Structure 1
Amino acid sequence: MEDSMKISTLTFIAFYFNSAIDTGRYDDLSIEEVRWEIRFGTIFDFLAKKLDTDIDLSILDPEAKVELLAEWQDMETAIPAGKKFGVENHGLPLLMAYLLEGIQRRARALS
């Protein structure tokens, strides 16, 4: 059941991203800015500061953050976001796409 918990955790974070996207307050957050924060391993601190009360990352323990960061770093370098996810402009939709990709990977591993 470990993978089910990971999927539910990713889904929980995705709901926060979706809500933040819906506010329109983060439309200025570029895909390049998010990719840079992922590359340098600062994405979670960045998100906590940038989204403030619009996100709660306390569900992610340090090990989960390490795992998710490594996964996002892999996706950032290996996957052309525009081609695979249809995301070319805004940072939060990129993170949403990464979460959905992570959910798909875990679901495939369970089947």
Structure 2
Amino acid sequence: MKTAPILLIVLLSIICLSECKDLIVGTTYNNRLLWQQKVEYNAIPLKKRVKEVFYSDPGQQIFKAIIARDIDHTDAIATVTAGGVGFSYVNIRLKSERGSGLNYQIEIYS
């Protein structure tokens, strides 16, 4: 009986991960916006575009949330490859779908 709610949560998480276009890690509730940047990369026909975005806080503040919003709502993928929530640095990898560009708004909260 107790496995049914856990299974339901896992299935909903998988569906959300397959449908979501934005990367949201942590919570922005009662946190201060520390850094934001718009990342744009032009499309090249038949090519996937990859962009690495690195940010390290000079004040060594610990990150509480990282948000990468896909402004164009494409099938691009954003992943945290180093650091992130709980660290004072982050490396975000953005990868577009074939033949599309990148248009992301990245926000970091502490």
* TM-score bracket for this pair, using the shorter chain length: under 0.3
- TM-score (norm. length: structure 2): 0.28
Instruction: Specify which structure has the higher proportion of strand.
Output: 2
Instruction: Specify which structure has the higher proportion of helix.
Output: 1
- TM-score (norm. length: structure 1): 0.27
In our comparison, the structure showing a higher alpha carbon Rg is 2
Instruction: Compare relative contact order (CA 8 Å, sep 6+) and give the higher one, 1 or 2.
Output: 1
